[in-house]
Structure 1
Amino acid sequence: MKVLHISTATGWRGGEQQAAYLITELQQLNVACMLLCPQDSEIQKRASCPQVFTFRKKGSLNFSLAGQIKKICIANQISLIHTHDSHAHTAAFISAWLFGNKTPVIISRRVDFAVSGNFFSGMKYNHPCIKKIICVSAAIQKLTAPAISDKSKLSVVHSGIDKNKFNLQQIKNKLRSEFNLSNDSLLVGNVSALADHKDLFTFIAAAEKINAAMPEVRFFLIGEGPERAALQAEVKNKKLEQVLFFTGFRKDVAEILPELDIFLMTSKTEGLGTTLLDAFAAKVAVVATNAGGISEIVQDGFTGLISDVGDAENLSRQVIKLIENKELKNRLTDNAFKFVDGFTYSTTAKKTLQIYKEVLGENN
């Protein structure tokens, strides 16, 4: 079996990490993987793939990329195409529709919003070349289903993580040292792109309320993105510059995440929320909003605490509750640490391989 994975993102976010994990683990399962991605993209640099093809990034309708896909499939006798983002899906669809590529296509869908109702999207999702649509959560499957004529094409495979990347025996105080905080400072943080759908203004609003009740708590937004300037202005406006810090993009998340006492996710849309799985594995207590597929992993009162989207008041109360109730906090983190064993990238790869075999008729 030869699978061509297509990713069109130049940066590095959750979807690219999941694609890289999948490629690595599939190769351990004797699947020959090839990767097609933008030249000098982060996934080109980070993914462990023996054969990588590149292209120059253009707009969403990249006809030269569609032609390149067909040529790669023919030259390398590709069994399946697996696309990992919307533009990759579009290019694979055009390769079949306009260039006559016969290679079956599997798409991964991670986004927490419905498929557009326009004619092109309808064609793109229902073309005969599309054999399976892998959704990262049941919530995403439910959102996607109305646009799909053949519902049997929909499957759910949750994202997975590398639980072993966190060294919980030797937690370093890098954040505390870097930002001149005492070792007993309480830290509440979020690891994500600083983007609109993460609703980090609600994080800041919750931080303001927590700070009023517990001035000793410090807050971290770990990541980079287009909302940074506006978020920093909001922090300044609320006079929180001495208690809420921006770290920028970090390559040492596996080292600094376990430092947090509480992970506060305020997203208003979220496919699944794999950073929450990372928090579980790092034994960090979680408070999160009930967005997208989050409730499939953050089980209220068992693996974390859940609040309505945008409810800074309740989110702040839940954070304070965990700070004050160490027994509850420890119980949630212990439950979450065990729960995350079902969400390894190895499990994700095995379930994905079963879908590949189903499409190719190899299950028997």
Structure 2
Amino acid sequence: MKILQLNFERGWRGGERQTLYCMRQFRQAGHEVSLMARRGSQMANTARAEGFHVYEQDGPLGQIGFLMGSGKKFDIIHAQTANTITWAALTRWAHRRPVVFSRRTDFRVRNDAKIRIKWQRIDLFVAISESAAAEPRRLGIKPVIIRSAVEPVTVDQARVQRFLDEWVPTGKRLISTSAALINDKDPLTMIEAVNILAQQRDDFVFVHLGGSGDAEQAARARVAELGLEKIYLFAGFQKDIESLYSAMDVFAMSSVEEALGSSVLDAFLQRIPVVSTDAGGLKESLADGRGVLCKTGDYEAMAEGMRRMLDDTAFREAAIARAHDYVRQEHDVQEMARRYLREFEGLLQR
């Protein structure tokens, strides 16, 4: 098959990593894989560096023109982001190729009629979790569930040591999160939880990994107000973040919106205990004792969960074992690709 992947994001987050995972696995299975991406984006540069053919465009007009003129060269057009499915679906009359969409969010849609019409033009609607499937189901769409995946990593020990030397004082335990500083990730709840924990003990630092966003100013102001500047550290976007999980004693998530939360899966895979809110797909990932689940906004419960993961060895090890078994079974990258390819083949047969 000739498969065209669409991802027009500027930065690099979970959806871009999943796009790259799909591309690698589809190519490994013997298919010809290309990418349409935003000009100069990290997605475009990374894919090109790995030997994929990349079609760079500047905006919606570029996307529309390419899909209308060149879309027919491909067997499958796979939109990995919401800002590409619109144009893939609306130009379907021109390229006449099956359109696949992977929904990676669980946001409630605002314009039901408009979204329903667009989604009905999609030949295969994939949701990465039950949470991500809720809105399409409400609008009468029947998505296929194909969960996002994580790959085992070879930890770069030198990279980890440089990170520890820069951010973690000797003798301190490390609690961390990986989340952009945006309101959906609710960094203020995380800060309040860390503040409670800091009043109980002084043997840890909290390092926030993630780029800037609409909640950054408020988050930094709250840290300063609480006097947590030496405990709650903003490390910003970090390259090769997968290696850094191995240095953590606890991984935490405070999201209020989260379709899946692939960073939690990274922690599972590296046997790092997780404390998380129950937003969206996080509730699915941490079910059955695979971590500590807290209600969204409940910073007291998060603080207690982090304390227990630090102190209760038996509880921590049991959660780690369950989480590791789960992620290896349900979020294997090769199995994810096989599920996609089975669906693609079914589309072409029909």
Q: Which TM class, normalised by the smaller chain length?
A: over 0.9
Alignment partner of 1:45: what SS? helix
What amino acid maps onto 2:148 in structure 1? S
Change (3 A) 1:173 1:300: farther
- Residue 289 of structure 1 deviates from its aligned partner by 0.7
Letter in 1 for 2:45: K
- Is 1:52 aligned with 2:54? yes
Contact 2:112 2:139 in 1 (8 A): no
Pick from 68, 71, 86 the counterpart of residue 69 of structure 2. 71
Correspondence for 1:101: 95
Counterpart residue number, 2:13: 13
1:315 aligns with 2:297: no
Shift of 1:250: 0.5
Which of 116, 124, 131 is the matching residue for 1:122? 116
Work out which of the residue numbers 308, 311, 330 in structure 2 matches 1:324: 311
Segments of 4+ in structure 1 off by > 6 A?
none
Residues 1:357 and 2:342 aligned together: no
Q: Say what the alpha-carbon RMSD is for the aligned residues.
A: 1.8
Distance in 2 (CA, whole Å) between partners of 1:355 and 1:69 is 22
Question: What does 1:329-340 align with in structure 2 at a 5 Å threshold?
Answer: 329-340=316-327
Deviation at 1:18, TM superposition (A): 0.2
Relative to structure 2, which stretch is displaced further, 250-259 or 305-314? 250-259
Q: Aligned residue for 2:164?
A: 176
**Distance (Å, rounded) in 2 between the aligned partners of 1:295 and 1:119:** 29
Secondary structure in structure 1 of the residue aligned to 2:123: strand
Partner of 1:158: 147
Go from structure 1 to structure 2 and tell me whether the alpha carbon gap of 1:263 and 1:20 turns closer, same or farther (over 3 Å shift). Answer: same
Instruction: Quote how far apart the aligned CAs of 1:277 are.
Output: 0.6
Query: 1:283 deviation in Å?
Result: 1.6
Alignment of 1:287-326 (within 5 A): 287-301=275-289, 303-326=290-313
Secondary structure of the residue that 1:349 maps to in structure 2?
A: helix
Q: Which amino acid aligns with 2:119?
A: Y
The question of whether the paired residues in 2 share the 8 Å contact of 1:171 and 1:258 is answered with no
Structure 1: unaligned runs, 5 residues or longer:
none
Q: Is the 8 A contact 1:23 1:49 kept in 2?
A: no
Q: CA deviation at 1:205?
A: 0.5
The count of corresponding residues between Structure 1 and Structure 2 is 346
1:34 and 1:52 in contact (8 A); partners too: yes
The one-letter code sitting in structure 2 at the alignment partner of 1:113 is: F
Contact 2:106 2:134 in 1 (8 A): no
Question: After superposition, what is the alpha-carbon deviation per residue over 1:80-104, rounded to whole angstroms, capped at 9, x for unaligned?
Answer: 110011110011122125xx33111
What is the Cα deviation at residue 295 of structure 1? 2.0
Closer, same or farther: CA 196–165 of 1 in aligned 2, 3 Å = farther
Shift of 1:64: 4.0
* 1:27 aligned residue: 27
Matched AA of 1:278: D
1:279 equivalent to 2:261? Answer: no
Q: Give the deviation of 1:336 after TM superposition.
A: 1.7
TM-score by length of 2: 0.94
Within-5 A mapping of 1:111-260: 111-127=105-121, 130-148=122-140, 150-151=141-142, 154-166=143-155, 172-179=160-167, 181-182=169-170, 184-226=171-213, 227-260=215-248
Q: Is the 8 A contact 1:63 1:91 kept in 2?
A: no
Q: Deviation of residue 67 (structure 1)?
A: 2.4
Alignment partners' CA distance in 2, 1:18 and 1:31 = 17
Query: Following the alignment from structure 2 to structure 1, what is the Cα–Cα distance between the partners of residues 300 and 230?
Result: 21
Percent of aligned pairs with the same residue? 25
**Where does structure 2 lack aligned partners over 5 or more consecutive residues?**
none
Hey, what's the Cα distance between the residues in 2 that align with 1:63 and 1:125? Answer: 21
- After TM superposition, the score normalised by the length of structure 1 is 0.90
